[in-house]
Structure 1
Amino acid sequence: MTQFNISLPPAVEEYLHQQIRQGDYKNLEDYIYHLILEDQKRNTQEKLETMLIDGLDSGAPIPITEEWWQQKRAELVKKLP
């Protein structure tokens, strides 16, 4: 496991200790760990939103019918080893 040493302004340090005292987190490591997990989720969400917007902007919409799905399935089956 990697260890880090960081310097924080007193106001930020007090905020961290407040979060721990409120019972939201076990300790400072737990708080930092959850911050990183939330950051990862946010980044993943932003990437997904970007991909969805790119998809919407990728051209004229096409009707998705049963025939379209059959064609897509057939194309995927052809790609299987």
Structure 2
Amino acid sequence: MTILNISLPELIQAFVAQQVDKGGYGTVNEYILDLLCQEKAKAEQIESLLLEGLDSGEPLEVTDDWWEHKRSSLIQQFQSEQ
């Protein structure tokens, strides 16, 4: 495992210490590692969803006119549900 040293302002250090205690982490390292793993998982999920979107069908050109039509359509749909 590689060692990474970081400097934190006192307020952030206090916050991290609180989170370690609240979260039941044994050390600050465990807390930071968990945060980074969560962020990595989110990034992987976003990439997976983007790839799924790219493979979902024929591409369409999104222009200003397309957005205006989409916006108008959604407004009409919302108003009809009221």
- Same fold, TM exceeding 0.5? yes
TM-score range, shorter chain: 0.5 to 0.7
> Match of 1:53, as an amino acid?
G
TM-score (norm 2): 0.63
Deviation at 1:24, TM superposition (A): 2.8
Cα distance 1:23–1:50, how it changes in 2: closer, same or farther (>3 A)?
Answer: closer
In structure 2, what is the equivalent of residue 39 of structure 1?
Answer: 39
Aligned-pair identity (%) = 25
Structure with greater Cα Rg: 1
**Secondary structure of 2:55's partner?**
helix
**Secondary structure of 1:44's partner?**
helix
1:54-69 residue pairs with structure 2 within 5 A? 54-56=54-56, 58-59=57-58
Deviation at 1:32, TM superposition (A): 1.2
1:2-81 residue pairs with structure 2 within 5 A? 2-56=2-56, 58-59=57-58
TM-score (norm 1): 0.63
| Root mean square deviation, CA, Å | 1.7
- The alignment of Structure 1 onto Structure 2 pairs a total of residues equal to 59
> Match of 2:17, as an amino acid?
H
Structure 1 residue ranges (4+ consecutive) displaced by more than 4 angstroms after TM superposition: none
Runs of 5+ consecutive residues of structure 2 not aligned to the other structure? 60-82
Q: Which has more helix, going by share of residues?
A: 2
